């Protein structure tokens, strides 16, 4: 159960937000886009994030006594990163001493550039008989003076003696959070990279990011190497049930794919693995289990309990990823067994649940993930849509590759958009399927129950001759050898009905209707190509004005990049499970009722 939210007001900005108990003043401020100065990543070591608590609990923590003067503590000043909210509070925030660097991300969001990976150059005093501190103590003291905490593993300790002495104690420390990743000779602060991965069931996208500028150095996508083991997560889980060796096969397949992408990114940019210190990886719960070699079998059966849903931070060498050998792989948390880190990344990228606008975010695919809400309250669920949107179980269905029909317009003639341009149609992909059904509805060749008309039903329609019979089943001919059958339309109805019913259940819980929605956001690769008007016509999304239906592209990849570039935004992602209520649709009678109610297509006035 989500705990009652507490109200925090920041002066002199007069900005107010409501947060779950236990949130820090630092995190709550960033939640509403109010930057508070910091260089230590909110760990209480730099002392720069101080605020003055005016109303509310203000017991001083150990870090407050270490970083602040007694007179400041007496006057109510506290480190915002150490002050947890347990009652309504008001605080005063001093003006920033510097204008923070920011990067504009793909969805138009301005993100404060403050990566988890930090490089600090030092010219250290060399050892002497008067100063016999160890190498690591010498470095730690210098980092502490700059406001950084540090933990060093044995593998990095082994590199210190030669690097320090060959470089004359002029070195660059590389930190990922508080973990010492490397000590490099000379000033290498100009070269600092990370990689963001969106590991989809079908497609894998990797983006190499310059962590100093916030710019993408290069981006590449490819098919997930697990594809031979099945097209969907259930197939992958089924293969994994064959034992530990099968799970290792699946893990090797996805890691090999990621490393192949990395090799191409390095070759294209001239960046090296040793300059790439961190990877942020998002994907559905099954993909992240398989990436880490964890058995996902329990996900396939009730009560659908995964081994983990929290964010994980593991050494890259433990995964086998080709970045710096002492670098780290960070995942984002999941909201539920079938609402994974990719959706959390999408919510982060779109800002859903951080604004007062009521919005619904839908990732349309085999599993339709839905998040509905605003800063006041937010819900999430997963609706089992099936493979129709991927072109599977459709008679002439295919993936979105060359030769696939991706767009359809029907009037007195048929106009087709085919991937690859002037090439013969070989099949139809998901976006083309949705378009075709929407156009058949508008043309009056399909009734709202989903039943294709017979030729005798539309004797004067110029396209009546395209209403054909295929093996005793009604069909509509789109192109030579490519047609849409009555069974295909039923498959689409079940898929769209499942997602539409999931949206309706969440809307009913919140007590809102389509008229209350400010926006409908379509995420994922499929959502990028889906015609918003067609989605509305078939009833996949609520009946709102088409200009309020927005395709947000690869929002999961954008969210991964944001988490890579800003530890503050990463913390927001970590907090999302405590702010979004997960609704399990299995066994809910209102889901079954809603599904039946939305299975048909909305009533439309036919064109002719």
Tell me the pairing of strands 328-331 and 367-373. unpaired
Mean pLDDT for 128-151 is 92
- % of residues, the chain, pLDDT over 90: 65
pLDDT value of position 67: 87
The CATH number of the domain where 46 resides is what? 3.10.20.30
Q: Are residues 318 and 431 in the same domain?
A: no
The pLDDT-based confidence of 22 (bands split at 50, 70, 90) is: confident
Select from 208, 205, 339, 189 the least CA-distant residue to 267.
Answer: 208
Kindly report, residue by residue over 322-343, the tens digit of the pLDDT: 999 999 999 999 999 999 999 9
Q: Looking at the structure, do residues 145 and 157 belong to the same domain, yes or no?
A: yes
Q: Which residue has the higher pLDDT, 20 or 53?
A: 53
Q: Residue 607 pLDDT > 70, yes or no?
A: no
Mean pLDDT of 290-311: 91
Q: What is the pLDDT of residues 254-283, one digit of tens each?
A: 999 999 999 999 999 999 999 999 999 999
Domain boundary among 69, 97, 125: 97
Q: What is the pLDDT of residues 567-589, one digit of tens each?
A: 989 999 999 999 999 999 887 88
The pLDDT value given to residue 514:
94
Torsion on CA atoms 83, 2, 346, 306, rounded to nearest 10: 110
At residue 400, the pLDDT reads: 82
Q: Which helix (H) or strand (E) holds 91?
A: strand 89-92
User: Would you say residue 342 lies in a domain?
Assistant: no
For residue 43, pLDDT over 90 is answered with no
- Last residue of one domain, picked from the residues 137, 162, 185: 185
Report yes or no: 62 and 78 within 8 Å, Cβ to Cβ. Answer: no
One domain, residues 421 and 286 = no
CATH of the domain at 507: 3.30.420.40
- pLDDT of 557 above 90: yes
Same domain, 482 and 568: no
Structure tokens at 291: 């990436």
**497 pLDDT band (50/70/90 cuts)?**
very high
pLDDT digits (tens, 9 = 90+) for 399-414: 888 999 999 999 889 9
- The residue ranges of DSSP E strands in 490-553, in sequence order, are 519-523, 549-553
CATH classification of the domain holding 292: 3.30.420.480
Q: Are residues 381 and 511 in the same domain?
A: yes
pLDDT grade for 102, boundaries at 50, 70 and 90: low
> Using 50, 70 and 90 to split pLDDT, how confident is the model at 104?
low
Note whether residue 417 is domain-resident. Answer: yes
567 in any annotated domain: yes
CB 348 within 8 A of CB 569: yes
Evaluate if residue 608 carries a pLDDT over 50.
no
Q: Is residue 373 predicted with pLDDT exceeding 60?
A: yes
Handedness of CA 234, 237, 241, 245 (dihedral sign): positive
pLDDT recorded at residue 430: 87
152 to each of 139, 140, 172, 178, how far by Cα in Å?
Answer: 10, 9, 14, 9
Which of 323, 219, 319, 212 lies closest to 277, judged by CA?
Answer: 323
Asked if residue 392 is part of any domain, the answer here is yes
d(CA 546, CA 533): 6
Residues 318 and 219 in one domain: yes
Query: 528, 363 in Cβ contact below 8 A?
Result: no
Please name the residues in contact with 99: beta carbons below 8 A apart, sequence gap of 6 or more.
none
Q: Which of 96-110, 359-373, 492-506 has the lowest mean pLDDT?
A: 96-110
588 and 512 fall within a common domain: yes
3-state secondary structure of 547: helix
Average pLDDT over residues 458-468: 93
Mean pLDDT, residues 62-91 taken together: 89
Contact between 202 and 390 under an 8 Å Cβ cutoff? The reply is yes
The pLDDT of residue 606:
45
Question: Given this model, what pLDDT does residue 240 score?
Answer: 92
**Are 565 and 475 within 8 A, CB to CB?**
no
Query: Which segments of 135-281 does DSSP mark as H helices, in order?
Result: 135-145, 154-157, 160-166, 233-240, 244-269
Query: Is the pLDDT score of 47 beyond 90?
Result: no
Instruction: Let me know if residue 513 belongs to a domain.
Output: yes
Which is higher by pLDDT, 463 or 45? 463
Q: Please give the structure tokens belonging to residue 372.
A: 């509905």
* Rg (alpha carbons) of the chain, rounded to whole number: 27
Out of 150, 165, 185, pick the residue that ends a domain.
185
pLDDT of 276: 98
How sure is the predictor about 216, in pLDDT bands with cuts at 50, 70 and 90? very high
Kindly state the average pLDDT of the residues 585-598.
Answer: 87
276 and 133 assigned to the same domain: no
Asked if residue 375 and residue 397 are part of one domain, the reply reads no
Residues 276, 324: contact at Cβ < 8 Å? yes
pLDDT interval class at 201 (50, 70, 90): confident
Q: Are residues 526 and 589 in the same domain?
A: yes
Residue 343 lies in a domain: no
Environment class of residue 211 by beta-carbon count within 10 Å: exposed (0-12), middle (13-18) or buried (19+)?
buried
The model's pLDDT over 156-179, given as tens digits with 9 standing for 90+, comes to 999 999 999 999 999 999 999 999
DSSP SS3 for 147: coil
Domain count, the chain: 5
What's the domain range around 116? 111-185
pLDDT of the residue at 99: 60
Residues 506 and 475 in one domain: no
Does a structural domain hold residue 336? no
Report the pLDDT value the prediction gives residue 480, as an integer from 0 to 100: 93
Whether this model's pTM surpasses 0.75:
yes
Residue that has been written with the tokens 């270490």 in this structure? 66
The Cα–Cα gap between 342 and 285 comes to: 9
pLDDT digits (tens, 9 = 90+) for 381-390: 998 877 777 7
429-452 CB burial, b ≥16 within 10 A, e <16: bbbbbbbbbbbbbbbbbbbeebeb
Cis peptide before 204 (omega within 30 of 0): no
pLDDT digits 0-9 by tens, 417-443: 999 988 999 999 988 999 999 999 999
Q: Which of the four pLDDT bands, split at 50, 70 and 90, describes residue 98?
A: low
- 345 falls within a domain: no
The pLDDT confidence band at residue 97, using thresholds 50, 70 and 90, is: low
* Residues 205, 84 share a domain: no
Q: What is the pLDDT of residues 1-15, one digit of tens each?
A: 455 778 899 988 888
Identify the pLDDT of residue 95: 78
Q: Across all residues in the chain, what is the average pLDDT? A: 90
Query: Is the model more confident about 231 or about 322?
Result: 322
């Amino acid at each position: 159960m989500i705990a009652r939210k507490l109200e925090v007001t920041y002066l002199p900005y007069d900005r107010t937000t409501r947060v779950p108990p236990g949130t820090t003043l630092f995190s709550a401020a960033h939640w509403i886009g109010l930057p508070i100065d910091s260089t230590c990543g909110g760990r209480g070591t730099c002392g720069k994030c101080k605020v003055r608590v005016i109303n509310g609990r203000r017991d001083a923590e150990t870090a407050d006594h270490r970083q602040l003067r007694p007179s400041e503590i007496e006057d109510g000043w506290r480190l915002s990163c150490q002050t947890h909210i347990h009652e309504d509070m008001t605080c005063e925030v001093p003006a920033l001493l510097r204008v923070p660097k920011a990067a504009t991300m793909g969805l138009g969001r301005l993100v404060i550039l403050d990566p988890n990976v930090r490089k600090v150059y030092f010219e250290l005093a060399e050892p002497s008989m008067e100063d016999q501190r160890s190498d690591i103590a010498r470095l730690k003291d210098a980092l502490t003076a700059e406001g950084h905490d540090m933990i060093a593993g044995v593998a990095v300790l082994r590199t210190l003696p030669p690097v320090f002495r060959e470089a004359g104690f002029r070195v660059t420390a590389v930190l990922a959070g508080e973990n010492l990743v490397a000590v490099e000779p000379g000033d290498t602060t100009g070269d600092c990279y990370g990689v963001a991965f969106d590991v989809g069931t079908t497609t894998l996208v990797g983006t190499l990011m310059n962590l100093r500028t916030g710019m993408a150095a290069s981006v590449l996508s490819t098919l997930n190497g697990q594809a031979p083991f099945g097209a969907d997560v259930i197939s992958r889980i089924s293969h994994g049930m064959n034992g530990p060796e099968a799970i290792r096969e699946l893990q090797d397949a996805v890691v090999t794919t990621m490393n192949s992408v990395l090799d191409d990114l390095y070759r294209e940019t001239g960046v090296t693995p040793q300059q790439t210190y961190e990877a942020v990886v998002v994907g559905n719960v099954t993909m992240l289990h398989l990436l880490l070699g964890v058995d996902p079998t329990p996900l396939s059966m009730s009560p659908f309990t995964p081994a983990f849903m929290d964010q994980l931070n593991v050494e890259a060498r433990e995964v086998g990823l080709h970045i710096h050998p002492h670098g780290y792989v960070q995942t984002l948390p999941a909201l539920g067994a079938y609402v994974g880190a990719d959706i959390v990344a999408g919510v982060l990228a779109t800002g859903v649940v951080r604004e007062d606008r009521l919005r619904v975010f839908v990732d349309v695919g085999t599993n339709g993930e839905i998040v509905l809400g605003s800063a006041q309250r937010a819900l999430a669920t997963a609706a089992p849509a099936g493979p129709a949107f991927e072109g599977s179980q459709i008679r002439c269905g295919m993936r979105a590759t060359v030769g696939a029909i991706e767009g359809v317009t029907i009037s007195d003639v048929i106009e087709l958009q085919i991937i690859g341009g002037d090439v013969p149609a070989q099949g139809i992909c998901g976006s083309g399927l949705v378009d075709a059904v929407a156009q058949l509805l508008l043309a009056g060749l399909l009734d709202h129950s989903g039943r294709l008309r017979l030729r005798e039903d539309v004797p004067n329609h110029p396209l009546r001759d395209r209403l054909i019979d295929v093996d005793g089943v009604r069909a509509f001919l789109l192109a030579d050898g490519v047609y849409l059958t009555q069974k295909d339309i039923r498959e689409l109805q079940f898929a769209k009905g499942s997602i539409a019913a999931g949206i309706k259940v969440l809307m009913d819980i919140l007590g809102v209707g389509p008229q209350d929605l400010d926006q409908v956001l379509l995420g994922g690769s499929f959502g990028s190509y889906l015609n918003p008007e067609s989605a509305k016509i078939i009833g996949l999304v609520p009946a709102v004005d088409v200009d309020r239906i927005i395709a947000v592209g690869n929002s999961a990849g954008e969210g991964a990049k944001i988490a890579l570039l800003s530890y503050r935004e990463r913390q927001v992602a970590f907090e999302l499970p405590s702010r979004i209520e997960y609704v399990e649709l299995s066994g809910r009678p209102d889901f079954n009722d809603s599904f039946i109610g939305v299975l048909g297509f909305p009533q439309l006035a036919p064109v002719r």
